[in-house]
Structures are given as structure tokens and as C-alpha cells.
Amino acid sequence: MPDITALAVFAVATLALLVVPGPAVVYIVTRSVAQGRGAGLVSVLGVHAGSVVHVVAAALGLSALLATSATAFLVVKYLGAAYLVWLGVRKLMSRSGAEVVEAGKVSTSRLFGEGFVVNVLNPKTAIFFLAFLPQFADPAAGAIAPQIVLLGAIWIVLGMASDGTYALAAAALAGRVRQSATARRRLDVASGVIYIGLGAVAAFTGEARK
């Protein structure tokens, strides 16, 4: 296993990356503002259930496959980008005040499921597990798969703490937004533009590894 110093460095670097908002944070904040603290926290659980998929994939070597296959990398990259753009378009096309109606109808399973899909197809998370996490797995310290699982578990714990803080903060500041149709519409437009922008960045920034 990696030594305690390596784990500490990994944890600090991971937390620095997690606090920078990406697609998962945008999703969590949007749900927290629209539906409250409970919805935000369920979204956090869904997002990090998606993180488990990345951990398992990395431990099984699928991340190595994506890192060496240009086609596989591009498929994952463009699926994630397309999903983000779809979320953005849906937000932009929503009617003024529709979010309040939707808030009462969106089930816990849907909140969890959407958060799961957002993070499974999250380019930021995929790139982390492809390019960053493997640097802390040391072949001289033992089998690689258990090290990947340990590092992934640290990512998930820190991610739930960071994303949970975003959810609680957004829910605490959401009262005025939920009471104003204009503010709700502005939130829809802003989050829609952000989703589409993140999708565009995911699609057109960087190249597949070869």
C-alpha cells in the first residue's frame, strides 16, 4: 500500500480538484436550490455511486484500456459531452416556474439516478481516474488493484464531504430563488448555459491518449 505521506499528498491534491465546480457540482447545486437540502444530499449520493463505477473500472483495468484506446476514449468523452448538452437544453427549454412544479414530482430514485449518470459520464472524474490517480499507485508497494480501491475510497469520502457542503450551502441560500419566478428562470438559464458550456469543453478540449 502507498505510505502515509503519499496518501496525504493524494488527499490534498484530490480535495483541491474536487472543490473546483464541474458537472456534478452544477447538478447538485441546481437540485438543492430547486428542491431543498434533502434533494441535494440524495443527488450527492447518486453522484458518488457513479464514482464507485470509476473506482471499479480503474481497479479492473478498464481505465488503462481507455487510456490506450483512442476510440474507446472518444466514445466515453462524447457520451459525457452529449449528456451535459442535453441537460443544458432541457433547462433552457423549461417554462418559467416549471421547476417548482417539477420539484414536487421528482422522485428520490430519479434524483439519485440522474446524479449517478452525471458522474459516470463526467469527463472531470474520468480524466482523474485515467491520468491522475494511477500516479499514486506504486507497483513496489504491492498489488495495484487494492491500491486503486483505497485511493478511490479516499476520493469518494472527500467528494461526499465537498459536494455535501455545496448541497447544504445552496439549499440554505435557495429561499429567495424559490419564491421568485424571475430568479428561478434565471437559474434555469444560467445552469443550462453552464451545462452546455461544460459539454462543449468536454467535447473539444484535449485529445484522446494514443
Q: CA-to-CA distance for 14 and 150, rounded, in angstroms?
A: 13
User: pTM to 2 decimals?
Assistant: 0.69
Report DSSP letters for 62-81, one per residue.
HHHHHHH-HHHHHHHHHHHH
Give the pLDDT of residue 102.
45
Residues 14 and 77: beta-carbon distance below 8 Å: no
Give the pLDDT of residue 191.
67
| CA separation, residue 9 to residues 129, 141, 151 (Å) | 16, 16, 11
Q: CA-to-CA distance for 46 and 114, rounded, in angstroms?
A: 7
Domains in the chain: boundaries? 23-204
Give the pLDDT of residue 104.
44
Give the pLDDT of residue 103.
42
Tens-digit pLDDT profile for the chain (210 aa)? Answer: 667 888 888 888 888 778 777 788 888 988 898 888 999 999 999 999 999 999 998 888 766 666 666 676 677 667 767 776 877 787 788 664 444 434 445 789 999 999 999 899 887 787 778 767 777 777 677 777 888 899 999 999 999 999 999 999 988 877 665 555 666 666 667 767 876 876 676 677 554 443
Kindly state the cell numbers that stand for 117: 449518470
Candidates 14, 41, 15; CA nearest to 28 is 41
Kindly state the cell numbers that stand for 206: 484535449
